[in-house]
A and B are shown apart, each in its own frame.
Chain A
Amino acid sequence: MPRRRVILNANRNGPRRMQIYLPIAEVSVNAFTLTGLGGLVGVMSGLFGVGGGFLITPLLFFIGIPPAIAVATGANQVVASSVSGVLAHMKRKTVDFRMGGVLLAGGLVGSGLGVLVFNILQRLGQVELVVQLCYVVFLGLIGGMMLQESVRALTRSRNPAAGRRRLHQHSWIHRWPLKVKFRASGLYISVIPPLLVGVAVGVLAAIMGVGGGFIMVPAMIYLLGMPTKVVVGTSLFQITFVTAFTTLMHAVNYNTVDVMLAVLLIVGGVIGAQVGTTLGARLRAEQLRILLALLVLAVCGKLALDLFLTPDDLFQIAAGGR
C-alpha cells in the first residue's frame, strides 16, 4: 500500500505576526500593512489637501477587502486624516471658512444626488466600469492640466522677464450675481460657481467613493482662482464634513463600515497627515502642484493600463448575487 504514506500539511508556516481579524469585512489582515498604507495616504492628505480616498480605496481592493467595505471604511479614514490636517491648517490660518461652507452646502446636495446616480448605474450593471472610466478620465484631465500649468508657472518664475501674471483677472465668473466677499481667499465672486463646484464634486465623490479633494483642489485653483495656500485647508474642511456624512450613510444603510479596519488606517493616517502638512509648508506651491499632478497621472496611468492590458485571468468572482 504505497499510497498510505504520511504526508503532513505543507502549509504549516510559522506564526504570522500581527494578523488582525476584521469583524465586518470578515478577513484577516496584517496590522502593519494597513497602518503603513494609512500613513502613506496621510502624507498625501497633509501635503496636497486631498483626502486620499482615490488612493486608499483601490489599495484596499488590492489587499482583498470587499469593495463595499473598502469604500465605506475609506471614507471613515478620510474623516480622521482631514480633521488632523484641517486643524493644522487652522493654526496657520489657511482655511477660508466662508468658501468652505458654500462648497460644503453644494457637496452635501451633490453627494445625495450621486448616491441616486450610483443606484441607477447599479441597476444597469457595469457600475465598476463606469467608476474606472470616471477615474481615468478625471485623473487624466486634471493631472495633465495641472502639470502643464505648474510647469509653465515654474519656468515663468525662473525667468521673470517673460512677463508676470496679472494679480486680478476678470473672467465670466465675475459677472454672475450674488457676489460675496471671500476675505481669506481675497476673492469677490458670486456664490453660484463655488456652489456648483461643490455639487459636481459631491456627485463624483459619491459615485467614485472618494472625498473628492483631487477634483476640488484643481477646481478651486483654476475655476475659482483661489490662492493655493488657502485651497488645501479649505478643501480639507469641506472633505471632513462630506466624508463624515458619507460614513454615516454607509454605516446606517449598508452596515459596511469596519471600525477595526478604520482604526488601523487612522493610526497611520493621522501621523502621516501631520508629516505631510509640515512637509508642505517647506515646499513651494509650484513644486507642490507638480508633485500632485505627477501622482494623479500615475494613478490614472495604472488604472488605464488595467483597462487596456489583457488581465491575468479573464474570470473573476464577485461575492453575492451581483
Chain B
Amino acid sequence: MRWAIAALAILAAEPVHAQGAGSTVPETGGILPTDDRGWPLFPDPGQPRSPVTPEERPTGEQVVAGLSNASVSITASFDGSEILIYGAVKREAPIPAGDLDVIVTIEAPSQPATIWQKQRRFGIWVNTDSVRIGAAPSFYAVATTGPLEEILSPAWDSRYRISLPQSLRAFADTPAVADTRPFTEAMIRLRRQDGHYRLDESSVTLVEDTLFRTDIRLPANLIEGDYKTRIFLLRGGEVIDVYRAGIEVRKVGVERFLYNLAFDRPLIYGLMSLAVAVAAGWAASAAFRRLRRS
C-alpha cells in the first residue's frame, strides 16, 4: 500500500488541475471519423467499421488527474524521462456496479513515414512496394489496468484511437499495394521492437476504484513538440470520461542554441562546423608533433 499513500500524498500536496478536469467530448462528427486534417482514420478506410459512433453517457463519474511534470527539457545529457501520472475518480453518487478501468496514453507529435517491403529481384533484395502513412506518432505508449482487449470495446477504440494500430492514421495517398495490412503491422512491430510504441498492460494501478497512478518512461530518443496525454475512464468496455493534458518537450541550453543556429543561420552554422573540424585537426597534428619531439 506504499504507493497508494504516495498517490494520496501527491494528491493532497498538489491542487487538482482545474483545466481539463471535466468530461471533454471531442468534436468527431459523422460516422467515419476523420483526422483533424480530414484524412480517413486508420486501419483501412474501406473496411467496415462500427456503424454507430458511440456517445458517452453521463454516469456521474469524472477523472481528475495530474502529471509529475508538465514539461520535459532536453539537455545535452538527456537520457529519457519518467512521467508519473496520477489521479482519482470524482463522483457524487455511490460507486456503480461493474469493473472500472483506466487507460493512460502518451502520444508524441505525428510525422509522415514510409514503410518499404523488400523483394528478391534478379537475386538481390530490393525495396519494391511501399505504403506511405500520412501521420504516425514518433512515440506512443498505452498503459492500462488490464488486458486492453478485455477492457476496451472496438467501437470505443476506433472512436478515440487508443490501441497501437489506431495510432497510425491516414495513408498519404492511395496505396499502390492491394493489402496494406502487412505493412502497417510491420510498422507497429518494428516500432515496438525499438521501444517507440509500447503497450504496458496492467501497469496502471487502481485502488478502491478511486485512486490510480502509473509511471511512463519517455525514451532518450525524443523529438521536440507538444506531447498529448489522455486518461480514459472505462466501464464495461465503454469510455465514460476522458481527461487530457499536454507535456511540452523542448530542447534547452546548448541544444536549443545549436538547433536554432542550424535552421536560422545555416551558413554561419556550416562555417562554424568547418572551423571546429579544421581547428581540431590542426590541434591534434600540433599536439602529436610536440609529443613526438619530446
Contacts and interface: CB of A to CB of B under 8 A. Distances in A.
Contact of B282 (A19, A21, A84): A84
Given A9-B203, A262-B276, A315 B281 contact: no
A82 B111 contact: no
B153 interface: no
A167 interface: no
Given A28-B78, A83-B278, A317-B187, A23 B255 contact: yes
Contact of A252 (B189, B203, B223, B270): B270
Interface in B265-294: 266-267, 269-274, 276-278, 280-289, 292
The 7 closest A-B pairs by CB, nearest first: A83-B281, A251-B270, A270-B284, A28-B220, A315-B186, A84-B281, A80-B277
| Chain B interface, >50% SS class | mixed
A310 B76 CA distance: 39
A236 to B, nearest CB: 10
A126 B205 CA distance: 49
B139 to A, nearest CB: 11
A21 B77 contact: yes
A282 interface: no
Contacts of B195: 11
B79 interface: yes
B277 A7 contact: no
A310 B124 CA distance: 9
B114 A318 contact: yes
Interface of A: 1, 3-9, 11-12, 15-16, 19-21, 23-24, 26-28, 64, 76-77, 79-85, 87-88, 91, 126, 128-129, 244, 247-248, 250-253, 255, 257, 259-260, 262-263, 266-267, 270-271, 273-274, 278, 306-311, 313-322
B41 interface: no
Given A28-B221, A266-B277, A316 B115 contact: yes
B262 A87 contact: no
Given A3-B202, A26-B222, 17 more contacts: A11-B195, A23-B259, A24-B258, A80-B280, A84-B285, A128-B127, A250-B270, A251-B266, A257-B270, A259-B272, A278-B288, A309-B125, A315-B116, A316-B116, A317-B116, A317-B191, A320-B114
A311 B172 CA distance: 27
The interface centre, meaning the residue of A15, A257, A314 with most chain B CB atoms within 10 A of its CB, is A314
B67 interface: no
B285 A87 contact: yes
B115 A317 contact: yes
A244 B274 contact: yes
A129 B223 CA distance: 29
Contact of A24 (B116, B124, B262, B289): B262
A96 B66 CA distance: 68
A46 B10 CA distance: 59
Interface string B166-202: 0000001000000000110011011100010000101
B112 interface: yes
B29 interface: no
A15 B276 CA distance: 30
Given A26-B221, A321-B132, A88 B270 contact: no
Interface size bracket, B side? 35 or more
Interface in B238-282: 251, 254-256, 258-259, 262-263, 266-267, 269-274, 276-278, 280-282
Contacts of A247: 270, 273-274, 277
B113 A320 contact: yes
Given A3-B146, A313-B190, A318 B270 contact: no
Contacts of A260: 76, 258
Contacts of A252: 266-267, 270
A259 B258 contact: yes
Interface of B: 3, 74-80, 99, 111-120, 123-127, 132, 145-147, 172, 182-183, 186-187, 189-191, 195, 200, 202-203, 205-206, 215-217, 219-224, 251, 254-256, 258-259, 262-263, 266-267, 269-274, 276-278, 280-289, 292
6 contacts: A7-B200, A28-B219, A28-B221, A87-B281, A247-B270, A320-B112
Contacts of A274: 284-285, 287-288
A319 to B, nearest CB: 6
Given A5-B202, A83-B277, A318-B116, A255 B262 contact: yes
A315 B177 CA distance: 14
Contacts of A314: 117-119, 186
A255 B266 CA distance: 7
A111 B273 CA distance: 20
Contacts of B283: 270
Contact of B288 (A88, A250, A309, A320): A88
A6 B221 contact: no
Nearest to B285: A87
Contact of B281 (A81, A128, A250, A308): A81
B187 A322 contact: no
